[in-house]
Amino acid sequence: MRAQRMQRTLLSLVLRLLLLCTVATGKCSGKYHELLLQLQRQADLMQDPSTLLDPYIRLQGLHSPVLQEHCRERPGDFPSEDALWRLSRQDFLQTLNTTLGLILRMLSALQQDLPEPTNAEMNVRGFGNNIHCMAQLLSGSSDPKAAEPTQPGPGPTPLPPTPPSSTFQRKLRNCGFLRGYHRFMRTAGQVLRGWGERQGRSRRHSPCRALKRGARRTRPFPEVRRLAPRGQPPR
Amino acid sequence: MALFAVLQTTFLLALLPLRTYQSEVLSEPLPLTPESLNVSINSTKQCLHLQWTVHNPDYHQEFKMVFQIQISRFKASNVIWLENYSTTVKRNQVLHWSWESELPLECAIHFVRMRTMVDDARIPAPRLWSNWSSWEKADAQNSLGDHPLYVFPKDKLVEEGSNVTVCYISRNHQDNISCYLEDVLIYGRQLDQNVWAFEFKNVSFIRKTGTNFYCKGQGDPEGVVLLVSKVLEEPRDFSCETQDLKTLTCTWDPGNDTGLIQLPSYTLFESFSGKKTLCKHRNRCDWQVTQDSQEMYNFTLVAENYFRKRSVSILFNLIHGVHPMAPYSLFPKSVSATNATVTWKVYSIGSSSALLCQLQLLGEGKVIQQHNISVRVNGEYLLSELKPDTEYMARVRCAYADHFWKWSELISQNFTTAEAAPSEAPDVWRDVTFVSGHPTVTLFWKPLSKVHANGKILFYNVVVENLDEPSSLKVLSVPAPANSTKVTLNQSSYQIYVTAHNSVGPSPASAVAISGHPGNENVEEGRMNGTEDGFPMSWKPQSRNATGYVVEWCDSPQHLPCVLRWKNLGPTNTDTVISSEPSRCAFRPGVRYNFRIYEISTKRMAHLLEKKAGYLKELAPSYNPKVNMSNLTSHSFTLSWKDYPTESQTGFIQGYYVYLKSKTGEKCHRGFEKTFLTDNSVCCKYTIDNPDQKTFVVKDLQPESAYEFLVTPYTSAGEGPLDDFRKVTTPDEYSHILIHIILPMVFFVFVIMIICYLKSQWLKDKCYPDIPDPYKSSVLSLIKFKENPHITIMNVNDCVPDAIEVVNKPEGSKMQFVGTRKSPTETKGTKPAYLDLLPTEKNYSGPGPCICFENFTYNQAASDLGYCGHFPVTPQAPHCQLGPLTSPENLLKTLEQNYMNSLGEIPAGEANLNYVSQLASPMSGDRESPPTNPPEPALCSEYKMQMAIPLGLASPARSENSSLSSTALLDPREHCH
């Protein structure tokens, strides 16, 4: 258990250093795969319930089966999995960016209810920074403004949940929110992995699989139609 | 109208005295009814708040009143609280009163009413209650929404150990509600149709985030969090001090944390100035000293949380509470071997105040010097009497000089003094051995102690001075950390000086004198016993001019080489105790230590005084001697253990015990005593009290009896191990006699047998040789002696063979013969064919006179097979025929050729040649007469046959059909005689 925590801490530290490096230089990595891999790893780190949800449940005494049953994500807190899969890459990144803002506000409010030093907030900021870089890379412009989302993402627009009147309800509400947060990050990671898989399949020139995938999904990244050169994002 | 006027006058008259009295006391009670009673609910504090007024237009003064308040729950008739509230009332004053409900107010409708009574001494009794006000309703449920389930009180803050009542309101009567306190299902008390209450007594703190209580019906769970606070403790050790007379710092111990996220507040209040400040920390508060020269302060620290308020006060004099800041910049300067100057700085306090600083010098962790210095800004002090090459620590602390209260924090600095030349000569001793008459001296010295080395010793100088040749000096430099060197000298007298050198210079020299000749080593060794302190020993001085004594010994003497140790003693010492040095090997029990005591003459020459051996503590022997048993008789045997080393034992061997056990359990013999062994077996023990006796004869034993014996040494600490008994059985009483007779006899017979065996060949040659040597033949000697003294041995070249027997033998017959070894009698049927070399005469059957000729082809194998004379001879064919050979040369040639072939050129199975000659019997006497009888095999004993017989031809199994033989008979006339 301690070793796992240590691993997570180290990984988090590495990611934060990567983030700080990017922020410090003020430049985004121009390597699509490197950036994508980093996003996947960050999403994997943030989807882990042992980083936020489990400590919160332990700290608030919500570990009884009755309360666990009601510690669930509320509809509308985060975009659904289907909605995320349907989004284009630009829209997906925009939705991710917007949701991360909500998450940051919630984490800030939760700060005193969480165990002492959590790196959640820094992780979210780092993730958001890489999303920004990815959006910039996908838009093909070095101008950060070009990466700004132009269209609002589909699905419910996340709003900060209204604080419940009583402490007990707030505990349950926060619990459900954190569960949704981890679920959302897990889904985001899967979507990001889907980008990589699709890229790999495209490299192997497997049109059959692409067609099947296209048949399964309503809008399987229609803008990615051709193989991008090595080290360059697909346009 | 008149009547009205009369009545009015009467009324006024009546009122006049009342008015007059009213100015002094109220003449009668005034039942004043409370007005405008308003009841409100404070959900946070779970309080009913009452507000009302008393309207009395006639009274303008204050007077005391009692308000009786009645509270009902659920219905007006269910009164749960009755309280009298007394207060002083002014005219038109709005009055307030609160009541805290144990049951959350949201769970029940409450009704409140009150009445009043004037309770003032100015109004005479009887005092009457006013009428009750109308019931005022307090209903918190009106503000609730339409949720099916509510749990109250929300976010209740309670103190640990108090009682709490929690309730729920269920709007759905059919719903089955379960309630839990921290996962534990609990059951409550029904207060109303849809209200249940749960009372928790003596609640305890579980976690900072509160204790969860929740209920669950069909929908989502509803619950409350009870925020339990630990009891706020009174601050302890509250004190204030100042470092600079500008800022006061008050500190305290807040005690245990209350456990809530909301921390208690701490406020510092100063009564003289009337100022207060809210402290930013829970254990410390800063207070700015004003410029109005306030010297005394009366501080009160108030700790407060939702439930309690705790306070503690001190009276503080500013001057008496100065705790200066730690000095800084402490440095040593001008550090020499014995002196050092240290400097430091202090933070000034005020404009004219001085600080008292304490400078401490520490060596090896102990304070060795301490000095007090008054300092305003810069401090400096010269430390003296320091030791060279020594690390010291200087540390400084300061206090307010005007009024000492507390030392500041210490600051420290390490420094090391410079080196100086070693102050003491090294302690030197020597070991002298003589090789081929020349002394070889090994010099040993002890490293100088840190106190005397005064620095790092770099090398040792050894100067060897030949006293007989003063001009010859030999100097050796031995680098440190070596502690010995070897010098080979001649037979002169020497003085050796040893000095230790560090970076500054040499130490005083240590001198040792060596004589070129060995001293007296024949000193008897004494014994001594060790004690816990070591080995006490004493000696007798030999001369009055001794300059000292040296005791030397070896560490771990059982291990070689000897690690020499010595102890120098002054000339007045004639005894000492040699104890283990902490840095050396400790003396161990069971180890023999040998000490030698030397007397040092004025010329630094050492003479051996005494030798002593001892054990720190003797132990029982660890092993037994290896015993040889000899001279075993039926009544005794001898035990000996010649090579048993006593010096390596774990104690002085005082003697030996001989244990003897007999299986018959007979009584112990004379000299033995009965004893019991550890296994409870009985045994006889004999004590040999002379350690040099290493032989013992066990006597008076029974013949043919089994005994067990053991020899074990003993020391003062005990005897050796009793675990290796050896067995012996005494022989029969007469067996030795038999041995004395039979053994020589057997030996004698054996010798004869050996002689016979060794001489058997000689006897055989003498008595019955296999093949006679013609030269040695007795026959020859007889012939020589009796008939012809000129007779000689016939040369084969001179002889003409008379017959050649050619034997054809199949290959297999040879092997058959060799394998079956058939006797010659079995070969009777064999009829060899003979080739006539000379003309034969028919009907001639008698054996001609045979002549012996030299055997030049002798087959030993054939002779060994026993074919001596048993060769078959056909009766028809004479063995010998007389007459000239037709061609003697050819015959001889043929013979020789056949002979050679028989040696190896003729393959087996081919025709072989059997070369036979016969010697005429000397007994026949008539060579011309034919033999009357065919030759018998027995006659061969009289003949000497010589033949060349390949092994194949000797086969008696040869069949007649397969054999082809030819025999050439010699003509008797042509034979040489």
B223 near A CB under 8 A: yes
A60 near B CB under 8 A: yes
The highest-confidence range among A195-199, B490-494, B815-819, B853-857, by mean pLDDT, is B490-494
B85 or B756, which is more confident = B85
What average pLDDT does the segment B553-561 reach?
Answer: 78
In a domain, residue A65? The reply is yes
Which is nearest to B407 in space by CA: B345, B321, B324? B324
Helix A167-203 with A53-60: angle, nearest 10 deg: 170
Average pLDDT for chain A: 72
CATH assignment at residue A209: 1.20.1250.10
In this complex, which of A61, A64, A70 lies closest to B209 when CB atoms are compared?
A61
What average pLDDT does the segment B140-145 reach?
Answer: 81
In a domain, residue A228? The reply is no
The pLDDT assigned to B623 comes to 86
Sign for the pseudo-dihedral over CA of A95, A97, A98, A100: positive
**DSSP code at position B905:** I
Tokens at residue A175, please?
Answer: 């619990």
Sign for the pseudo-dihedral over CA of B693, B695, B701, B706: positive
What is the bridge-based pairing of β-strands B157-159 and B222-229? parallel
A61 near B CB under 8 A: yes
Residues in chain B within 8 Å Cβ distance of A59 = 207, 209
In this complex, which of B183, B207, B225 lies closest to A168 when CB atoms are compared?
B225
**DSSP code at position B738:** H
Residues in chain A within 8 Å Cβ distance of B151 = 168
Tokens at residue B334, please?
Answer: 């001008």
The pLDDT assigned to A231 comes to 38
> Do A62 and B212 lie within an 8 Å CB cutoff?
yes
A66 near B CB under 8 A: yes
Q: A60, A167, A170, A173: which to substitute to probe chain B, counting the most B Cβ within 10 Å?
A: A167
Helix A32-46 with A2-25: angle, nearest 10 deg: 140
Residues in chain A within 8 Å Cβ distance of B182 = 61, 64
Tokens at residue B951, please?
Answer: 């092994």
In this complex, which of A64, A167, A172 lies closest to B180 when CB atoms are compared?
A64
Which is nearest to B804 in space by CA: B736, B738, B896? B896
A116 near B CB under 8 A: no
In a domain, residue A222? The reply is no
Instruction: Find residue A231's DSSP bridge partners.
Output: none
pLDDT at B625 over 70: yes
In a domain, residue A17? The reply is yes
The complex's ipTM works out to 0.73
> Do B180 and A166 lie within an 8 Å CB cutoff?
no
Q: Does the model's pTM come out above 0.80?
A: no
Phi and psi for B696 in degrees, rounded to 5?
-150, 135
The pLDDT assigned to B456 comes to 92
Distance CA A115, CA B842 (A): 148
A109 near B CB under 8 A: no
Nearest C-alpha in A relative to B155: A167
pLDDT at B249 over 90: yes
Condensed to tens digits (0 to 9), the pLDDT of residues B904-948 reads 444 444 434 444 444 433 443 344 444 444 444 434 334 444 444
Distance CA A33, CA A199 (A): 9
In this complex, which of A63, A66, A165 lies closest to B221 when CB atoms are compared?
A66
| pLDDT tier, B974 (very low <50, low <70, confident <90, very high otherwise) | very low
Q: B43, B144, B183: which to substitute to probe chain A, counting the most A Cβ within 10 Å?
A: B183
Residues in chain B within 8 Å Cβ distance of A67 = 212, 214, 221
The pLDDT assigned to B580 comes to 77
| pLDDT tier, B962 (very low <50, low <70, confident <90, very high otherwise) | very low
Cβ-based contacts under 8 A for chains A and B? 55
pLDDT at B600 over 70: yes
DSSP string, B201-218: -S-----TT-EEEEEESS
Tokens at residue B891, please?
Answer: 């015959």
Instruction: Find residue B240's DSSP bridge partners.
Output: B250
Q: What share of chain B is helix, strand, coil (3-state, %, to 5)?
A: 15, 40, 50
In a domain, residue A223? The reply is no
What average pLDDT does the segment B530-552 reach?
Answer: 88
> Do A167 and B221 lie within an 8 Å CB cutoff?
no
Count the Cβ atoms, other than its own, within 10 Å of residue B548: 16
Angle at A47 between CA A44 and CA A48, to 5 degrees: 95
Distance CA B309, CA B306 (A): 8
The pLDDT assigned to A12 comes to 53
Residues in chain A within 8 Å Cβ distance of B224 = 166-168
Phi and psi for B741 in degrees, rounded to 5?
-95, -50
Direct distance between the N- and C-terminal alpha carbons of chain A, in angstroms, rounded to an integer:
43
Q: In chain B, pLDDT over 70 holds for what percent of residues?
A: 73
The pLDDT assigned to B477 comes to 92
Residues in chain A within 8 Å Cβ distance of B222 = 168-169
Q: B157, B176, B214, B263: which to substitute to probe chain A, counting the most A Cβ within 10 Å?
A: B214
Distance CA B532, CA B536 (A): 10
CB B188 within 8 A of CB B198: yes
B184 near A CB under 8 A: no
The pLDDT assigned to B789 comes to 52
The pLDDT assigned to B918 comes to 42
Distance CA A124, CA A103 (A): 8
Contacts of B786 (CB under 8 A, 6+ apart): none
Which is nearest to B50 in space by CA: B99, B116, B89, B14? B99
Weakest-pLDDT range from A87-91, B198-202, B440-444, B732-736:
B732-736
Helix A32-46 with A167-203: angle, nearest 10 deg: 150
In a domain, residue A42? The reply is yes
B259 near A CB under 8 A: no
The pLDDT assigned to A92 comes to 92
B824 or B223, which is more confident = B223
> Do A61 and B211 lie within an 8 Å CB cutoff?
yes
Which is nearest to B712 in space by CA: B610, B770, B644, B614? B644
Tokens at residue B936, please?
Answer: 């018998």
Distance CA A156, CA A77 (A): 8
In a domain, residue A231? The reply is no
> Do A66 and B214 lie within an 8 Å CB cutoff?
yes
| C-alpha dihedral (B5, B10, B12, B17), degrees to nearest 10 | 170
A175 near B CB under 8 A: no
In this complex, which of B151, B209, B221 lies closest to A59 when CB atoms are compared?
B209
Nearest C-alpha in A relative to B262: A112
In a domain, residue A122? The reply is yes
C-alpha dist (Å) from residue B33 to A134, B29, B66, B211 = 79, 12, 11, 46
CA-based nearest distance B195→chain A, Å: 20
The pLDDT assigned to A199 comes to 61
> Do A61 and B223 lie within an 8 Å CB cutoff?
no
Nearest C-alpha in B relative to A67: B221
Residues in chain A within 8 Å Cβ distance of B180 = 64, 66
Count the Cβ atoms, other than its own, within 10 Å of residue B513: 18
The pLDDT assigned to B763 comes to 76
What is the bridge-based pairing of β-strands B391-400 and B355-363? antiparallel
Weakest-pLDDT range from B57-61, B294-298, B752-756:
B57-61
Distance CA A195, CA A97 (A): 17
Q: 3-class DSSP state for residue B252?
A: strand
B522 or B277, which is more confident = B277
Condensed to tens digits (0 to 9), the pLDDT of residues B104-141 reads 999 999 999 999 888 877 777 677 888 888 999 999 88
The pLDDT assigned to B646 comes to 67
Condensed to tens digits (0 to 9), the pLDDT of residues B362-379 reads 999 999 999 999 998 899
Condensed to tens digits (0 to 9), the pLDDT of residues A4-24 reads 555 555 555 554 544 444 444
Condensed to tens digits (0 to 9), the pLDDT of residues B461-511 reads 999 998 888 777 889 999 989 989 998 888 888 899 999 999 999 999 999
CA-based nearest distance B51→chain A, Å: 28
C-alpha dist (Å) from residue B804 to A203, B107, B832, B838, B845 = 114, 158, 11, 11, 18
Q: In chain B, pLDDT over 90 holds for what percent of residues?
A: 36
| pLDDT tier, B103 (very low <50, low <70, confident <90, very high otherwise) | very high
pLDDT at A216 over 90: no
CB B803 within 8 A of CB B839: no
A61 or B792, which is more confident = A61
CA-based nearest distance A168→chain B, Å: 5
What average pLDDT does the segment A189-218 reach?
Answer: 56
Tell me which H or E stretch contains B62: none
CB B355 within 8 A of CB B399: yes
A111 near B CB under 8 A: no
**DSSP code at position B666:** P
Distance CA B948, CA B858 (A): 6
Domain of residue A35: give its range: 2-213
Residues in chain B within 8 Å Cβ distance of A112 = 261
What average pLDDT does the segment B503-530 reach?
Answer: 86
Number of domains comprising chain A: 1
Residues in chain B within 8 Å Cβ distance of A64 = 180, 182-183
> Do A61 and B182 lie within an 8 Å CB cutoff?
yes
What is the side-by-side order of every strand in the sheet holding B459-466? B473-479, B459-466, B494-501, B510-514
Average pLDDT for chain B: 77
Q: 3-class DSSP state for residue B723?
A: coil
Which is nearest to B360 in space by CA: B410, B400, B324? B410
Distance CA B472, CA B494 (A): 10
Condensed to tens digits (0 to 9), the pLDDT of residues A166-186 reads 899 999 999 999 999 999 999
